[in-house]
């Protein structure tokens, strides 16, 4: 079973998340009083791919919203470099889209120092996928929750 951030740090604020970690889940655990900063995590096929560091929420909303808009166009998309923000800087990430799946390929960057224990070893590729429809529906459910959290400041 995939590890969650509940074991990593105690937060006085409730975690927001949508999806199932074993297929695709997106979550944010606020760690600051204004709730704009915290731990942002993606789970794909049960693997947490973020580094569990504290980060600003808004850039992750913007990056995943753009990726979701691309997925909604339903055309196939060749493999291209993907940047999802500082939580994922320990990885070289790529994304491609088939008619039915969003495929993520990533490797741990050699210069990253101490990557999280669940990251692939340096030089080894990890390829994970999520059904395109699930990616879109999960993000479309999560996005309003995250935006509401930021607006409630």
Q: Which residue has the tokens 């799946």?
A: 101
Model confidence pLDDT, tens digit, residues 67-80: 999 999 988 999 99
pLDDT of residue 111: 81
pLDDT of residue 30: 93
pLDDT of residue 40: 93
Q: Which residue has the tokens 């753009």?
A: 66
pLDDT of residue 115: 76
pLDDT of residue 80: 93
pLDDT of residue 53: 85
The strand ranges marked E within 12-84 are: 16-20, 24-30, 37-44, 47-48, 54-56, 77-82
Q: Which residues of the chain have pLDDT under 70?
A: 1-12, 153
**Helix, strand, coil distribution of the chain in percent, nearest 5:** 30, 35, 35
pTM: 0.85
pLDDT of residue 10: 55
pLDDT of residue 112: 72
CA-to-CA distance for 119 and 126, rounded, in angstroms? 9
């Amino acid at each position: 079973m995939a590890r969650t951030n509940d074991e990593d740090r105690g937060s006085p604020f409730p975690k927001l998340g949508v999806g199932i970690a074993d297929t695709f889940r997106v979550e944010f655990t606020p760690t600051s009083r204004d709730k704009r900063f915290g731990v942002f995590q993606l789970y794909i096929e049960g693997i947490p791919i973020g580094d569990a560091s504290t980060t600003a929420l808004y850039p992750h909303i913007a990056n995943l919203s753009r990726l979701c808009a691309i997925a909604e166009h339903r055309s196939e998309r060749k493999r291209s470099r993907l940047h999802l923000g500082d939580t994922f800087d320990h990885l070289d990430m790529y994304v491609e889209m088939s008619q039915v799946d969003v495929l993520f390929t990533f490797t741990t960057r050699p210069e990253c120092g101490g990557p999280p224990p669940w990251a692939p070893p340096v030089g080894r590729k990890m390829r994970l996928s999520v059904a395109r429809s699930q990616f879109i529906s999960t993000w479309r459910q999560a996005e309003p929750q995250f935006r509401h959290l930021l607006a409630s400041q």
